[in-house]
Structures are given as C-alpha cells and as structure tokens.
Amino acid sequence: MLISEAGYRAGCHCKILCLVIRFWWILIGVIASWILYFFGLKFWRKQKHTSVHLEPVPMQRQHVLQLKHQPLPQCPPQGAGMWRKRLLKLFVFLGILMSIWLFWHLNENTFLKRQETLANMCDERARMLQDQFNVSKNHVNALAILVSTFHHGKDPSAINQKTFGEYTERTAFERPLTSGVAYALKVPHSKREQFEMQHGWTIKKMETEDQSLVQDCIPDKLDPAPIKDEYAPVIFAQETVSHIVSIDMMSGKEDRENILRARSSGKGVLTSPFKLLKSNHLGVVLTFAVYKADLPPDATREQRIEATVG
C-alpha cells in the first residue's frame, strides 16, 4: 500500500515536471521569435534607409522613370512582417492559454493532495480518540469493580473519600478523556435519614430555580432533594469534581436516564452532550452500574436492577 502510493506520487511529480519543462520551452520559443522578428525588422529598415541615401541622384531619377512605366510590386518584407506579427500573437495567445491551464492543473493537484492529507489526519485523529475512549471506558469499569469489591464487599469498608480521591487522581493518566470520576450510592427513601446522619450532610437537589447556583455548583446553597423512592448521592469523587459530593444524581434529567439505562443493561452508557456543572463546558457523562458481588454473569434485567448498589 505504501509502495504503490509512493509510486503514484512520484509519477504525478514526474508528469508535472514534464509539463513545466514543456511550458518553459514554448515560452523560450515565443521570446526567441519576438527577438528574431524585432532584429530582422530593424535590420531591414536600416538596409532600406541606407540604400535610399547612398544612391546617386541620376540613378534615383532613372529608377523613378522606370517605376512609372512598370507596375509597383508588393513589398515582400511588409508581408513577411505581417506574417511574423500574426505568428507572434498566436504564440503569445497559446502561451497565455498554456499558463492558465498549467496553473489550473497544478492548483487542482495541490487541492486534491491537501484534501487527501486532511482526510488522513481526520481518520487518524478519530482512531486515536476511539482508542483513548476505550481505554477510559475500561478503566472506569475497573473502578466500578474496585468499589464493589473493597467498599461493598468489605465490612467495614476499605475505601473512603480520601483514599478514592488520591487513587483516582494518581491514575488520571489512565483516563485521558475524562475530567474526573465519582461514585454515587443507591439510597432508598427509608434509609435517607440514617444516611444523612452518618455522613453529616443533606442530600442536595441538582436542579433548582436559581440556575446560577447549579452552574456555580455551591452545594451549601442548593436545595435539599425532594422526597422520592430512591436517591443517588455522590459519596466519593476525584479532587477535580469534588464539588458534586452530596448532590443527588437522580435529580438531574440526563443523569437519571443514564443511571436507569446503565443498571438495567450492565454496560457503560453515555448521556447526550450538555453543560457540565461548574466548568460550564460541553461534555458527556459515562455511567457504569455497581452491583453486588454475588450477581451471576447471565443475570436478567430485573436481577440487575435489584442487585444495583450504586
């Protein structure tokens, strides 16, 4: 593939070089014709002027008398000069047409080459982003398994906010397309009061009437989450997104739909693009569900929803 492409480009460059050489030869021929015509006309005029002044007066009179009795022949140099002028105009016209065609041909080749280069760059960038996304996705899935094993599988839990924040910050290079990761715990309404007393803060609502508070993401100024069957407050977060701790992810429209789809499918789910909290940048949220350790691999949709812990 690379050899054939290199041979094709070499052939194109060779053709362009031949066209340029031919154009220069035509241009040199036009210039040479013009020079020959100019010097020939100048030499002919000089010869005519010299012959007129050097002839003696009697010879001139005799010549005039002879011309009176003879028809005047056409002057060959004048006809030759007209022919040269027409030929010169033809050469100039052809040279202009050749220049325009050569410019169009070279410009078209340059445009096609740039278009091909841009397409290759876009394809390479798309492949790189796809690889980075797959790496980030696999690492987030590994974090979900880590939380399931060391937080829900241990009593007491082996993970707290400090441990989770330090670990995710040190492994940020494994997730090149993410600005941060967080873990939201599934809390039923019957355990909300106990949960809030245990953590020392109230579950906050993501959406509020004052949208400036949401975009600035000041948890202390956000409203408490309304009464619902279940909540998903963030309990662990990377330092870069620590401002979302205590916010109920089920209170956001995009996040709620994402959570419901993720826990029923058992796969990573992406939201549609929307403005992220605090940074106000356009982005997406990738969600993985965390299940109990005893969930079978071939679990049904209802079993996955029931076994979801975060």
pLDDT over 70 percentage in the chain: 70
The whole-angstrom separation of Cα 146 and Cα 292 is 12
pLDDT (0 to 100) of residue 9:
53
**Tens-place pLDDT, residues 281-304:** 778 888 888 888 777 878 888 888
Judging by beta carbons within 10 Å of its beta carbon (0-12, 13-18, 19+), is residue 125 exposed, middle or buried?
A: exposed
Find out whether 138 and 130 touch, Cβ atoms under 8 Å. no
Contacts for 108 with CB less than 8 Å, ≥ 6 apart: none
pLDDT (0 to 100) of residue 159:
87
**At CA 292, angle to CA 290 and CA 298, rounded to 5?**
90
The answer, yes or no, to whether residue 70 has pLDDT greater than 80, is no
Higher local confidence (pLDDT), 209 or 247: 247
The answer, yes or no, to whether residue 37 has pLDDT greater than 80, is no
Count of positions (residues) in the chain: 310
**Tens-place pLDDT, residues 201-215:** 888 887 654 444 444
Residue 306, both tokens? 């029931």
The whole-angstrom separation of Cα 225 and Cα 126 is 40
Residue with tokens 């809390």: 187
Find out whether 159 and 150 touch, Cβ atoms under 8 Å. yes
CATH class as words, domain 157-307: alpha beta
Q: Within 13 Å and on the Cβ side, how many CA atoms surround 46?
A: 6
Q: How confident is the model at residue 121 (pLDDT cuts 50, 70, 90)?
A: very high
Residue 101, both tokens? 């065609």
**Residue type for position 160:** N
**Tens-place pLDDT, residues 158-204:** 888 888 989 989 988 888 888 889 999 989 988 988 988 888 888 88
The answer, yes or no, to whether residue 22 has pLDDT greater than 70, is no
* Range of weakest confidence among 19-23, 109-113, 163-167, 206-210: 206-210
Question: Measuring CA to CA, which residue among 21, 11, 15, 10 is closest to residue 98?
Answer: 21
Dihedral sign, Cα of residue 144, residue 146, residue 147, residue 153 = positive
